[in-house]
């Protein structure tokens, strides 16, 4: 089955900074990929390049087509993108924000068909937002806002999810809930690539991990392989190791 996203030798500059250097990866249906690396490593640049949102060299295919050749609607039907710290400056309800995910399907919060409403309801339930659906976005906590934006991405019903730090600001239980959502999407045949600073969470949920530093992918593979001590030290500049604890992982950094 063809990849939902394919990058071959993709590079991008941000001003005078070489932010992405020859990145190559595929995201297959049913696969979860975690993107790890220090601040400023190029993770967000990779997402934006993959979606055709900034100038890049190399070969990019999103659902089998170069993203620059796709309309905004066609891109949205192929991939749902959740940026870091998404803004919601309007005093709209949680349900109305989630319903914005249906724009690519010709719907809007005030004109939802039965299929659209079902998608919104399912996304709200998946993200545990039922009690908050009528609350205004400017009246809920930061973690609740983050889950509402994730629900908006889910309501889009795109096969590929690109999520930039989707668990930032969430408590541990909520972060584990996001992990369950990603697994459920993959089990239905969707693909996921998400960035995070939570090494243990990445190791627990991802089929494959990409470790990036200074715009260059320095390791990739199964979590235990990509997060080997040498790779962690190269990425973060400190001795570190991934250790299994029961059915999960933890990352141990030395002082």
225-255 tens-digit pLDDT: 999 999 999 999 999 999 988 888 889 998 8
C-alpha–C-alpha distance, residues 227 and 198, integer Å: 12
The reported pLDDT for the residue numbered 241 is: 93
pTM score? 0.94
C-alpha–C-alpha distance, residues 102 and 215, integer Å: 33
Q: Which helix (H) or strand (E) holds 82?
A: strand 79-82
Sheet holding 191-195, edge to edge: 79-82, 160-164, 191-195, 32-36, 208-213, 216-221
Tokens read off for 188:
């239905």
The reported pLDDT for the residue numbered 85 is: 79
Nearest CA to 25 out of 214, 232, 210 is that of 210
Residue 249 in contact with residue 242, Cβ under 8 Å?
A: yes
3-state secondary structure of 174: helix
C-alpha–C-alpha distance, residues 185 and 103, integer Å: 20
Residue 29 in contact with residue 159, Cβ under 8 Å?
A: yes
Residue 83 in contact with residue 163, Cβ under 8 Å?
A: no
Q: Which helix (H) or strand (E) holds 211?
A: strand 208-213
The reported pLDDT for the residue numbered 135 is: 95
- Please state, in angstroms and as integers, the Cα–Cα distance from residue 242 to each residue in 31, 179, 231, 245, 255, following that order: 21, 19, 11, 10, 15
Rounded to 5, what percent of the chain is helix, strand, coil? 40, 30, 30
Give the residue ranges of the chain where pLDDT is below 50.
none
Tokens read off for 42:
């190029």
The reported pLDDT for the residue numbered 1 is: 55
Give the residue carrying structure tokens 């066609």: 74
C-alpha–C-alpha distance, residues 39 and 214, integer Å: 9
The reported pLDDT for the residue numbered 86 is: 80
Tokens read off for 38:
């220090």
Residue 85 in contact with residue 34, Cβ under 8 Å?
A: no
Task: Point out which residues pair with 5 in neighbouring strands.
Answer: 27, 62
**Residue 232 backbone zone (phi > 0: left; psi -120 to 50: alpha; other: beta):** alpha
pLDDT digits (tens, 9 = 90+) for 136-176: 999 999 889 999 999 999 999 999 999 999 999 889 999 99
The reported pLDDT for the residue numbered 12 is: 96
């Amino acid at each position: 089955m063809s990849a939902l996203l394919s990058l071959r030798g993709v590079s991008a500059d941000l001003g005078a900074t070489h932010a992405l250097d020859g990145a190559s990866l595929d995201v297959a249906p049913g696969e979860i990929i975690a993107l790890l690396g220090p601040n400023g490593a190029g993770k967000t640049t990779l997402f934006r390049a993959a979606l055709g949102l900034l100038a890049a060299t190399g070969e990019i295919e999103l659902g089998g087509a170069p993203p620059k050749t796709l309309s905004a609607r066609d891109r949205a039907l192929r991939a749902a993108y959740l940026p870091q710290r998404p803004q919601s400056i309007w005093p709209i309800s949680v349900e109305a924000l989630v319903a914005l995910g249906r724009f690519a399907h010709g719907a809007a919060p005030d004109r939802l068909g039965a299929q659209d409403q079902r998608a919104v309801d399912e996304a709200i339930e998946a993200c545990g937002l039922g009690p908050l659906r009528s609350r205004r976005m400017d009246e809920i906590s930061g973690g609740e806002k983050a889950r509402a934006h994730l629900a908006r991405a889910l309501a889009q019903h795109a096969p590929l999810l690109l999520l930039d730090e989707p668990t930032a600001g969430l408590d541990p239980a909520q972060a584990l809930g996001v992990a369950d959502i990603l697994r459920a999407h993959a089990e239905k045949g969707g693909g996921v690539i998400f960035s995070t600073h939570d090494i243990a969470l990445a190791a627990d949920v991802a089929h494959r991990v990409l470790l990036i530093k200074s715009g260059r992918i320095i390791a990739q593979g199964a979590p235990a392989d990509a997060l080997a001590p040498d790779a962690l030290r190269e990425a973060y500049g400190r001795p570190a190791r991934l250790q299994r604890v029961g059915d999960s992982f933890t990352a141990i950094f030395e002082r």
